[in-house]
Amino acid sequence: MTEHLSRAGNTLAYDVTGQGPLVVLAHGMGDSRHSYRFLAPALAAAGYRVANVDLRGCGDSSLGWDGYSRTDIAGDLVAVVRHLGGPAVIIGQSISGGAATIAAATAPELISGVIELAPFTRAQSVDLGGLLRVRRFRAGFIQLAQVLLRGSLTSWKKYLDIAVPTKPADWASELARIEAKMGEPGRMKVLQAMAKSSPSDAGAQLPNVTCPVLVIQGSADPDWADPRAEGERIIADLPSGLGELAVIEGAGHYPHVQTPDQVLALALPFLARTLANA
């Protein structure tokens, strides 16, 4: 059942399944909580209360928000945790990985751990050498540039084809669902606003995080020429001993979609440790 949380005259859509310690799921740009269709029920079956959230402007959440930065999204996630009763672990993908970092740094009493899936958590610079060397990275970059500049839904679908190298069985219907949602007036503008937002606000908060962080990267993620190196940089910017990196071979930018069983196998021991006293 979809529930709604009011925030500054707007609404966030989410659903809650399962019972136990709280885990909050936050998807990436141009997507919705349906992205976690494989992971959410598995976490609930493992004994967790799972809140699966549509980011502001996405899915069933309302349009018309004042901003779409990681700091804005972090405030929403903290509000969800406070509303449902924490502490919680946030699992955030892509832009929401950075938002989860900010939430952990600014609300340590509510956030006991963070799992970042293919996260944009640091300020990025154009990797010209990587664009020349790595075909996968170059192909993804070209499609994302068309999305950013022209709001091209066709280019977004082409990017997703690269970003999910091995498709789940329901990919055709899932892509049709994404296309229909992104075709609604205003939804592409939200994607573009998120894509234009800098991860520097999240990067600035990495030294202020006090809870454990698990970063999960896919080796075939087209968003970086070297996804492992990006994960290592995030870990290095955290306080010593807090961060852990796992790389799933062959996974792209959506490991929770492409390799949900492997993500679950990595997440469950982390959740058991960080939510033991919740």
For residue 38, the model assigns a pLDDT of: 98
For residue 42, the model assigns a pLDDT of: 98
For residue 55, the model assigns a pLDDT of: 98
Report the C-alpha gap between 243 and 31 in whole angstroms. 27
DSSP state of 233: H
Closest to 23 measured CA to CA, from 214, 174, 152: 214
Residue 274 contacts by C-beta under 8 Å, 6 or more apart in sequence? 89, 112, 113, 211, 212
For residue 252, the model assigns a pLDDT of: 97
Closest to 23 measured CA to CA, from 270, 247, 204, 224: 270
How many domains does one find in the chain? 1
Here the CATH number for the domain that contains residue 61 is: 3.40.50.1820
Instruction: Using 50 as the pLDDT threshold, list the residues of the chain that sit under it.
Output: none
Structural domain for 239, as ranges: 3-274
Cα pseudo-dihedral 209, 32, 126, 240, rounded to 10: 20
For residue 124, the model assigns a pLDDT of: 86
Instruction: State the pTM of this model.
Output: 0.95
